Structure 1
């Protein structure tokens, strides 16, 4: 059957959403993927419903696509936003042909052929049998290790629509990695809402450490990293296991959200300043460690004094990267009914933290000048003609930036291949490097 039908898919929000989008692509292989939404027979928007800004982006994306779509096309709204607000959206958005939430990604082909909206109560978790189509890379893939979250952070609505922690079996994860290695993938990012809790619902004491050891045994895995550790479920033993691994990068992505005890208590983080700093210092002590975190500006209970304390800590600690979120007041969260900080104060605080984040990143980049790193070439640089875009394996895909190769030393250039390179200079906020040799 010729590829006559066309599909346009937009995946919003996090990489966990991306995995679910890739599952839908796997179910719709008879469609030709198109970047031109005006020509698509089916348009799917896999939405994010985490905070106000994400909700707004999801709604605007859907409405813009509806405005431009061709006659008789099918517009599907899936994912977290449609799950979280299913009643309201179905009532208020007649533009949408099919609504579905976070439980039916593997049934997307059936929903489209029957033009039915459905919301299965169980949250979907991709496994090795999902048949997803990996996008965006010929060597890197995300592996979702769990869904849901057992934490009760006061600002977070995710457990209200994603439910409690539900981990995949270790054998399922290993099988998926083995299958992807056979397909030519060699670099993996392991993701979930709270990766350091992996396996606790299956009574594994150190589930993530078990996962690290199991993945190390898979021949063909050249590098890996774990995203989204949670302070109260991250142990010193886990930090050691990551640092000592020959396969996993010494990459610690642990959102701390704040550092002041009073604010951490109002956030229901279950972990105070002293223990958080002890974990961070231990991570930092590991050779060639890379530390990423995120913080929230303007959470209820954040006094000027506690905000200044956070700023001083973020300046002094010098994370390699950190993200700042404006506090967003979300229904179904315990912070929703707390006394709120004025929006203009939240915005001012977020802006100040953003400037500290820029300085922190620049400091991290400057420290790399003169060093030799292992990197992968992703392709030509979008911004600079004649330059190549590359990523050191220690950095996470898409979020930590790129290094530009301005001298290939006449080596054969192959996208997705690993090279040793020397970082020669920092121009503005952009690192330049020279290729030294191909790494097998």
Structure 2
């Protein structure tokens, strides 16, 4: 009987989607998963390597389990994911306790690696046309669905094209079939993910087919919320916005990384946006969908960023009214164009600017929380005492902590009256009356 496997998945939801493919292949081969590492015979570490901080976290986990292997507490270590793509077989030399490595284009070889049929499984980039065996690792009511992999945008700071290759979409019917499987397994919320979700289908069909995909997905019986993650601002079209406005199942939510507002910095980042086009896009989004929840991300301390550039970014965050903001001090990634740029800033400057930007967004959030107090919102429960509104994606955004929800369970929709908030954590009580399970997104 094969050993029980303890699976560690680091990084973003796209990496978690890969972990579900790894887990599905292992289950098909007869391996079982355990949530208790003390009961595991082997460990599978699905790594992230997008930033140096992610590399350090991945290597820390490898060292931790290497120590456990030396002490005889586990028998095998398998490393998969982005770090494998960055370091290849050098990873085996760096960490001799690792038994095998599996790249992101060879996820189906995890069982072979654990069986001892090789040490380095790395495959070239290929089309995403083969159905994937998956084992759900998220809660039953909420799931991620990866519609594409790789990236063609070539932002100057980003290592993803080197790690994950060119942009490749899954065929439309394959995505719909995977969504049907997710809904059959209990998913009421599906979050679509890719490096650039708005480019979906362009490589296969000659032009983006996101709207065509969304029109099929909203017809799925049992699906209540459909959420768009990782959209590129220039590709958020009027057709997409009209569809979000008109289709009840489409959450009034966009995760749209912007990275900066200064024209000079955006140009150096090799972004297509300018400050003017970003402001125009935000105005267009809110014209079509006034209650759109917007999540974004920014980089502070990009090479050559001046005090003037950063002041412009601070002012923009204060005025733009984002619902959720992620802030990253610039990370100098080997092999990226930005790593060779002049004007590299010291860590203390990058980190200080990140703290200032987070503080600016906190003030925005305080105002939003005051406006929310006393209102009744629709909440999808992640547990009997905690859930999320349509404004909050799983894991990465805020949540609502609830009292008076006895008898409710994860996956239920309830009406909650907001009584208070601190940062991204809101508090509320169950409002009188019952709520139909319709995925309603409105607030009143």
TM-score range, shorter chain: over 0.9
Decide whether aligned partners of structure 1 residues 352 and 428 sit closer, same or farther in structure 2, where only a CA change above 3 A counts.
closer
The alignment yields a C-alpha RMSD, in angstroms, of 1.9
1:232-273 deviation digits (Å, cap 9, x = unpaired): 222233222222221110101110000000000000002211
Match of 1:378 among 344, 358, 382: 382
- The 5-angstrom pairing of residues 400-439 of structure 1 reads 400-408=397-405, 412-426=407-421, 430-436=425-431, 437-439=434-436
* 1:309–1:23 CA distance, 2 compared to 1 (3 A): same
Does structure 1 residue 48 correspond to structure 2 residue 60?
Answer: no
TM-score w.r.t. length of structure 1: 0.92
Classify 1:85/1:343 alpha carbon distance in 2 versus 1 (closer, same or farther; 3 Å). Answer: same
Tell whether 2:290 aligns with 1:287. Answer: yes
Aligned to 2:441: none
Deviations for 1:296-350, whole angstroms, at most 9, x for unmatched residues?
0011121110111101111111211101001001112111111111221111111
**1:163 CA drift (Å):** 0.9
**What pairs up with 1:282-361 in 2 under 5 angstroms?**
282-285=284-287, 286-339=289-342, 340-361=344-365
The worse-fitting range, judged by mean Cα deviation, of 236-245 and 44-53 is 236-245
| Partner Cα distance (2:278, 2:40) in 1 | 49
Conserved 8 A contact 1:8-1:43: yes
Q: How much does 1:185 deviate?
A: 1.5
Q: In structure 2, do the counterparts of structure 1 residues 198 and 35 end up closer, same or farther at CA, with 3 Å as the change threshold?
A: same
Structure 2: distance between partners of 1:133 and 1:40: 18
Which residue of 2 is the match for residue 396 of structure 1? Answer: 393
Residues 116 and 128 (structure 1 numbering): CA distance in 2 closer, same or farther, change over 3 Å? Answer: closer
Distance in 1 separating the partners of 2:358 and 2:423: 17
Residue 371 (structure 1) shift: 2.3
Inter-partner Cα distance in structure 2 for 1:80 and 1:124: 16
Structure 2 unaligned regions, length at least 5: 438-444
Q: Is the 8 A contact 2:106 2:123 kept in 1?
A: no
Structure 1 regions of 5+ residues with no counterpart?
381-387
Superposition deviation, residue 289 in structure 1: 1.1
Measure the CA separation in 1 of the matches of 2:295 and 2:18: 24
Give the equivalent residue in structure 1 for 2:58. 58
**C-alpha contact 2:89 2:120 (8 A) present in aligned 1:** no
3-state SS in 1 of match to 2:55: helix
How far off its partner does 1:421 sit? Answer: 2.2
For 2:399 and 2:130, the matched residues in 1 are separated by 30
Q: 1:394 to 1:346 in 2, by over 3 A?
A: closer
For residue 135 of structure 1, report the CA deviation from its aligned partner.
1.6
Q: Are 1:276 and 2:278 counterparts?
A: yes
Q: Secondary structure at 1:141's aligned position in 2?
A: strand
Aligned residue pairs total 429
Structure 2 match to 1:103: 105
1:123: Cα distance to partner? 4.0
SS at match of 2:251: coil
Measure the CA separation in 2 of the matches of 1:99 and 1:427: 43
Distance in 2 between residues matched to 1:125 and 1:143, nearest whole Å: 17
Give the superposition deviation at 1:115.
4.5
- Assess, with a 3 A threshold, how the Cα gap between structure 1 residues 125 and 401 changes in structure 2: closer, same or farther: farther
- Structure 2-normalised TM-score? 0.92
